Chain A
Amino acid sequence: MKLSIITINYNNSIGLRKTIESVVSQTDDAFEYIIVDGGSSDGSVDIIKQYADKVSQWVSERDGGIYNAMNKGVRMAHGEYIMFLNSGDILYDNNVIGHVLPKLKADICVGNLVSDKGGRMTPPNEKNLTMSFFIRGSLAHPSSFTRRKLLEVHPFREDTKIVGDHEFFMYTLIRLNASYQTLEDIISIFNTEGISSTQQTPDIDKKILSETISDIMPPRVKEDFDIFMGKRDDYHRLFYELSFSKYRMWIYKLVVIVLKIICLNRGFIKKYKI
């Protein structure tokens, strides 16, 4: 079995139905489908039972939060790769799985994600996937395929509320040096009403993230990142922010002009050997 798709759900029966339908209508059915419900009371279980013949395994019982449910799903799975499609998120079209399955090679494969409001999240390429990327943000988990072995080596931290996947990607890709691959296909459509897009990051999550960062980097390496990323002084902050702006070439030209004006002053050239 190459792939396990895992859906976790808690009291979101409308979203759950959409998700199940998008999975069971796939033309390629060489995957197993697992649903982990947190003991919903809004009739989600009836919906699962409706599709019971298409769902490989399902469970409905109280659990300890999102990442506890996801880890439970991983323990039930048998596929080489695991995809998390939480209730509300749907696959982009009926052929996605068939298209993508033969391409999966690396430990973590990430495709494009579309939000239901029309925004698109393209995964960063290998070159840009560095530590500073994970300090700024994270990969999109609804469009990613993760090798199951990796999830067994480093399961999601269950004490996190919404950054468990961020912590997982950061730790495995940086510290464990997992291999990474981008997929050109659009994999899934992301529901912007989900928990991670409506909630502010809670303090406990910030604490856990910074613990992981210090686990990966000794203090004097972290200090460098703080300087580079502009947490220490305004100069670095300005240019760090600018380096992501679409006006950066414009600023670059401006700086070159200012440098040339300065160079007209010969004292500078002598003193600093420009």
Chain B
Amino acid sequence: MIISVITINYNNSTGLRKTIQSVIAQTYNNIEYIVIDGGSTDGSKSIIEEYEKDIDFWVSEPDGGIYPAMNKGTSHAHGDYCIYMNSGDTFYSKDVLQKVVDSNPKEDIVCGDLCIGDNIIPNPDEVTMKVFYRSTLYHQATFIRTSLIKAYPYDESMRSAADWKFLMHSLIFHDASYRHISMPIAIFETGGLSDSNSSIGRKEVEEELQRCLPKRILEDYRDYCYGVTPFRQMMNKVEVIPPVRKIIYNTNRIVLKVLNMWLHTKWIKDL
């Protein structure tokens, strides 16, 4: 199985060196490595030339931004899966790719966990629309089947949410298959572009959501994810902490069972 690793870079030579080193240090050797530079002026090109023998394809020329660069990288990829490691991001350990291939991935989208600073942030085990309503899957830890990303390339008119749009459309509307591998894949360098552009990103996300889901379904999502009433807000707060959730659930159940003696409501009996 060939894995295509695609790195895009623009004027971030220190980050680029880190990323290249972490890719060529991988113990798995069936890697196709592609570097797309946007015509940097800070010596990135000489770093690429330094590692040229380990890079299968590279280009350094001005491009229209991150997503056009990523699409350019995709068009040169021949592997079964693609992973985008932008300059600054590094693999979590040397045997990450080996482990991923060993787990025998067959799905369209395979996700691991992402390490930001000291925290490991897991991607969800089951993906539903809620994931995309609240945030997204982390693309640094996502392996995408090359044929899928070639069929639906990133939307170049978006500035910072095209990866979100691609993942949402393929997982929700095209019903792509998904698997979560519970292990850290990549270390994310904070301060990237889609990090600093989060307000633009949020706006793009809102617009896209309104385009592809009816507004009366989105209203439900707003209630379920952020809570319109205090009761729902409380539910959401309790929900994320499993032990507390268990305590609250059991207390309520016991109280309702006791109340049931004089409230003869059907739904309490069903509990």
Contact = CB atoms under 8 A, between A and B. Distances in A.
B187 to A, nearest CB: 23
Contact of A228 (B172, B173, B224, B255): B224
Contact of B129 (A220, A248, A252, A272): A220
Interface stretch (A48-56, A70-78, A125-133): A125-133
A272 B245 CA distance: 12
B231 interface: yes
A258 B248 contact: yes
A218 B172 contact: yes
Contact of A238 (B213, B221, B249): B249
Interface string A247-274: 1110110111011001000001000101
Contacts of A173: 216
Interface stretch (B12-20, B147-155, B233-241): B233-241
Nearest to A226: B128
B interface, how many residues as a size bin?
Answer: 35 or more
B238 A220 contact: no
Contacts of A258: 247-248, 251
B127 interface: yes
Interface string B164-188: 0000000111010000000000000
A252 B128 contact: no
Given A238-B253, A259-B244, A174 B130 contact: no
A254 B248 CA distance: 9
B216 A174 contact: yes
A140 interface: no
A241 B269 CA distance: 12
A223 B128 contact: yes
A262 B244 CA distance: 8
B43 to A, nearest CB: 42
Contact of B231 (A218, A221, A235, A243): A243
Interface in A73-114: none
B175 A234 contact: no
Interface string B53-76: 000000000000000000000000
A239 to B, nearest CB: 5
A262 B219 contact: no
Contact of B232 (A175, A243, A247, A272): A243
A272 B156 CA distance: 39
B252 interface: yes
A220 B214 CA distance: 15
A150 interface: no
Contacts of B213: 221
Interface in B194-238: 213-217, 219-221, 223-224, 229-232, 234-235, 238
Contacts of B239: 235
B214 A177 contact: yes
B234 A272 contact: no
Contacts of B262: none
Contacts of A274: 241
A227 B128 contact: yes
A219 interface: yes
A229 to B, nearest CB: 9
A141 B95 CA distance: 63
B217 A130 contact: yes
A235 B245 CA distance: 8
B241 A220 contact: no
A221 B128 contact: yes
Given A130-B219, A177-B216, A224 B224 contact: yes
A175 B128 contact: no
A216 B230 CA distance: 29
Contacts of A259: 238, 244, 248
A238 B230 contact: no
A58 interface: no
Which 9 pairs between the two chains have the least Cβ-Cβ distance? Answer: A221-B129, A130-B220, A131-B217, A130-B219, A224-B128, A228-B224, A130-B216, A223-B128, A220-B128
